[in-house]
């Protein structure tokens, strides 16, 4: 599956290029999302499917507000009545490009999450949802996760997204041998001093 990381901010694009330098199936672009050719595009909204701010507003204006209505209907039918950070849903757009919007919340409601691992959790969720979807997804366009309202620094977002990519797409994950190891891995996901590890 091809991953297209898109954002018009050059600082984030540069961070992605560094983090994903060795990943041949990942493309980084600063193009407007409306020019991208992909099967699915990610909405990094909130747990209640409101797509009325930032990139989500642009997606709603471009793809139509029926996407939000379909998404919220799907969310309301879930046992918890919300889509938690670390989970994702694919919503049909009824278009050929993109055919799907992937809702992968980076926050429960709009808020700062710059001390979180939410970009990591959202990236894992969206990759798993696309990989395991009943219809084949060959390409997915992914914006900066938690880097807008969330306030996550570009380098940290890129790092978290890359760790998630390696775990899901390359199988580079191991269950922690202790809670201490789990804590250390968690800390490294959101510590600028440990971006190389």
Task: Please give the average per-residue pLDDT across 46-57, as a whole number.
Answer: 96
Given a cut of 70, whether residue 197 has pLDDT beyond it is no
Q: What is the pLDDT of residues 107-118, one digit of tens each?
A: 999 999 988 999
Short-list 148, 152, 83, 91, CA closest to 120 = 152
The predicted model scores a pTM of 0.94
Task: Please give the average per-residue pLDDT across 24-45, as a whole number.
Answer: 97
| Residues whose CB is less than 8 angstroms from the CB of residue 110 and which lie 6 or more positions away in sequence, other chains included | 46, 53, 149
Alpha-carbon span 23 to 51, nearest angstrom? 30
Q: Where are the domains of the chain?
A: 2-194
Q: What is the pLDDT of residues 77-102, one digit of tens each?
A: 999 999 999 999 999 999 999 999 99
Q: Which CATH class is domain 2-194?
A: alpha beta
Query: Given this model, what pLDDT does residue 116 score?
Result: 94
Per-residue pLDDT band for 194 (boundaries 50, 70, 90) equals very low
**Strand 26-29, strand 100-103: pairing:** unpaired
Q: How far apart are the first and last CA of the chain?
A: 25
Alpha-carbon span 108 to 83, nearest angstrom? 8
Strand spans (E) along 8-130: 26-29, 40-43, 89-92, 100-103
Short-list 8, 49, 4, CA closest to 27 = 4
């Amino acid at each position: 599956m091809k991953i297209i990381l898109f954002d018009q901010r050059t600082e984030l694009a540069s961070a992605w290029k560094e983090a994903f330098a060795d990943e041949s199936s990942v493309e980084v672009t600063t193009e407007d999302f409306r020019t991208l050719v992909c099967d699915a595009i990610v909405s990094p909204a909130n747990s209640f499917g409101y797509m009325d701010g930032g990139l989500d507003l642009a997606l709603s204006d471009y793809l139509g507000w029926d996407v939000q209505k379909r998404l919220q209907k799907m969310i309301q039918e879930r046992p918890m009545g919300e889509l938690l950070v670390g989970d994702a849903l694919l919503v049909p757009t009824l278009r050929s490009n993109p055919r799907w919007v992937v809702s992968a919340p980076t926050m429960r409601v709009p808020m700062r999450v710059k001390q979180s691992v939410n970009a990591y959790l959202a990236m894992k969720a969206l990759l798993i949802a696309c990989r395991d979807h009943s219809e084949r997804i060959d390409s997915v366009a992914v914006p900066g996760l938690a880097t807008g309202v969330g306030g996550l620094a570009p380098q940290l977002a890129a790092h978290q997204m890359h760790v998630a990519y390696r775990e899901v797409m390359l199988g580079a994950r191991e269950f922690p041998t202790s809670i201490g190891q789990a804590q250390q891995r968690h800390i490294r996901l959101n510590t600028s001093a440990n971006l190389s590890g």
